[in-house]
Amino acid sequence: MSDFLTEYAFLIVPIVKIVILVLIVLTVDAYLTWLERKVIAHIQARWGPYRVGPHGLLQPLADGVKFIFKEDPLPANVDKAGYFIAPFITLMLALTSLAVIPFGPQRFTVFGYETHVGIADVNISLLVLFAITALSVYGVALAGWASNNKYSLFGGLRSSAQMISYELALTLSVVGVLLIAGDFSLRGIIEHQDNGNLGILGWNIFGFSKDGLGFTQIIGFFCFFLAAIAETNRVPFDLPEAESELVAGYHTEYASMKFAMFFIAEYTSMITVSCLATILFFGGWVSPFPASWTLTHYLPSVLLIPFGAWLVFDGIRYETVFGRILLPGVGSVLALLGIALALFPSFNEAIQGPFWFLGKVFAFLFFYIWMRGTLPRFRYDQLMTFGWKFLLPVAIANVVITSAYLLWRMY
């Protein structure tokens, strides 16, 4: 048995990692919808989901059951092959793009096979992500075209036009980061931002570096994030699904799990974009504090223990019995986790990287939702003007300025 494992570890370990990652990502997607509804509800002075489970925590489960059991009608005169394949393409590409994201600095060995936190560590990971982004237009365009519905077609066309336009700005905005790091690999880009005692100043957004070859990428980040929101079709660039004009855009004719696949794909690409923004501009897993401040390593415990205690304290007064069991249960698990982190330094060191990485990703996801609750939608001509006449020139200017500065520092 162990011989078999050693021989085929190169195959088994990645498959196991893929299964775990997909399960985690699908769960996070589900709870992202819950978070989005809750946050927007509170922005609009409502309660949001509250009925299914304590604080509506089981709402994603109810939504999932509803999606599975809904009727899935096939509209008349659709292009069958395209209609069926479009949601699969969209979801497959969205999930594939997570494969090249490194989630933590560790490398470990399983059955004599050296591996790391993340699925594939390829040295062109950024290009792979752009290749996947380039292909993901087809899912949306095909869905719109195959549905044989004028609103779907318009949604699909708008979406393709938008994605093509903003892809340029997206690609150009990261060139500055590539110039500084001199590497296409996401792991390499993060390691280049790890400048020991410089801490937060070493991140690409501030651009200080030990060797002096760094330049603030705040313009690049601005372009990247705006273009990325447009690529993921989120507010304020969610014109493909502007319901007042286009019903639901390219997925008007989709119901049941096929609709859910578009939905999951949208949330997964939100996660990918947040991971990418974290990696490229905010130092990935690098802590914002100088490396010599070892006391900050207890920050996860400091956050987890009070949060767990509050959850226990708040949960025992919840109005339903189920809530009185579930909330204190989750709270005590979190508090115990925090205590365990404080007691076992090796365990604590191991989660430092993932803690900062996931924390930053969560901040970006929250920002996405915050914007959805705050901003109105662009008009279509404004969207195109903004992309071509503002974002693209600014991204090019960033490339020119960054390379000029780096040249000046080198000679």
* Distance in Å, CB of 141 to other proteins, minimum: 6
- Residue 123 touching other proteins (CB under 8 A): yes
Residue of 352, 285, 337 whose CA lies nearest to 329: 337
- The piece of 64-72, 138-146, 203-211, 326-334 that touches other proteins (CB under 8 A) is 138-146
* Distance in Å, CB of 29 to other proteins, minimum: 25
Residue 168 or 330: the one with the smaller Cβ distance to other proteins is: 168
Residue 149 or 348: the one with the smaller Cβ distance to other proteins is: 149
**Cβ(326)–Cβ(315) under 8 Å?**
yes
- Residue 351 touching other proteins (CB under 8 A): no
Residue 52 or 157: the one with the smaller Cβ distance to other proteins is: 157
Q: SS3 for the chain, per residue?
A: CHHHHHHCHHHHHHHHHHHHHHHHHHHHHHHHHHHHHHHHHHHCCCCCCCCCCHHHCCHHHHHHHHHHHCCCCCCCCCCHHHHHHHHHHHHHHHHHHHHHCCCCCCEEEECCEEEECCCCCCCCHHHHHHHHHHHCHHHHHHHHHHCCCHHHHHHHHHHHHHHHHHHHHHHHHCHHHHHHHCCCCHHHHHHHHCCHHHHHHHCCCCCCCCCCCCCCCHHHHHHHHHHHHHHCCCCCCCHHHCHHHHCCHHHCCCCHHHHHHHHHHHHHHHHHHHHHHHHHHCCCCCCCCCCCCHHHHHHHHHHHHHHHHHHHHHHCCCCCHHHHHHHHHHHHHHHHHHHHHHHCHHHHHHHHHHHHHHHHHHHHHHHHHHHHHHCCCCCHHHHHHHHHHHHHHHHHHHHHHHHHHHHHHHC
Binding residue for other proteins, selected from 135, 175, 309, 401, defined by CB under 8 A: 135
- Residue 137 touching other proteins (CB under 8 A): yes
* Distance in Å, CB of 7 to other proteins, minimum: 13
- Residue 95 touching other proteins (CB under 8 A): no
Binding residue for other proteins, selected from 30, 127, 200, 247, defined by CB under 8 A: 127
**Cβ(223)–Cβ(173) under 8 Å?**
yes
* Distance in Å, CB of 117 to other proteins, minimum: 22
Residue 38 or 187: the one with the smaller Cβ distance to other proteins is: 187
Binding residue for other proteins, selected from 32, 95, 128, 277, defined by CB under 8 A: 128
- Residue 153 touching other proteins (CB under 8 A): yes
Q: Where does residue 116 rank: exposed (0-12), middle (13-18), buried (19+ CB within 10 A)? A: middle
Q: Report the distance separating Cα 46 and Cα 36, nearest Å.
A: 13
Residue 62 or 157: the one with the smaller Cβ distance to other proteins is: 157
- The piece of 20-28, 78-86, 194-202, 225-233 that touches other proteins (CB under 8 A) is 78-86
- Residue 6 touching other proteins (CB under 8 A): no
* Distance in Å, CB of 124 to other proteins, minimum: 5
Q: Report the distance separating Cα 173 and Cα 356, nearest Å.
A: 24
HSE-CB for 278 with a 13 A CA cutoff: 30
Residue 137 or 392: the one with the smaller Cβ distance to other proteins is: 137
Q: Report the distance separating Cα 324 and Cα 42, nearest Å.
A: 23
* Distance in Å, CB of 375 to other proteins, minimum: 28
The verdict on whether omega for the bond into residue 236 sits within 30 degrees of 0, i.e. cis, is: yes
Region 180-209 residues binding other proteins, contact defined as CB under 8 A: 184
- Residue 213 touching other proteins (CB under 8 A): no
Binding residue for other proteins, selected from 12, 22, 124, 396, defined by CB under 8 A: 124
What is the x/- site pattern for other proteins, positions 31-70, by CB under 8 A?
----------------------------------------
Binding residue for other proteins, selected from 26, 131, 218, 247, defined by CB under 8 A: 131
* Distance in Å, CB of 78 to other proteins, minimum: 13
- The piece of 40-48, 118-126, 214-222, 264-272 that touches other proteins (CB under 8 A) is 118-126
- The piece of 50-58, 130-138, 237-245, 360-368 that touches other proteins (CB under 8 A) is 130-138
* Distance in Å, CB of 233 to other proteins, minimum: 16
Q: Which residues contact other proteins (rule: CB under 8 A)? A: 79, 81-82, 122-124, 127-128, 130-131, 133-135, 137-138, 141-142, 144-145, 153, 156-157, 160-161, 164, 167, 184
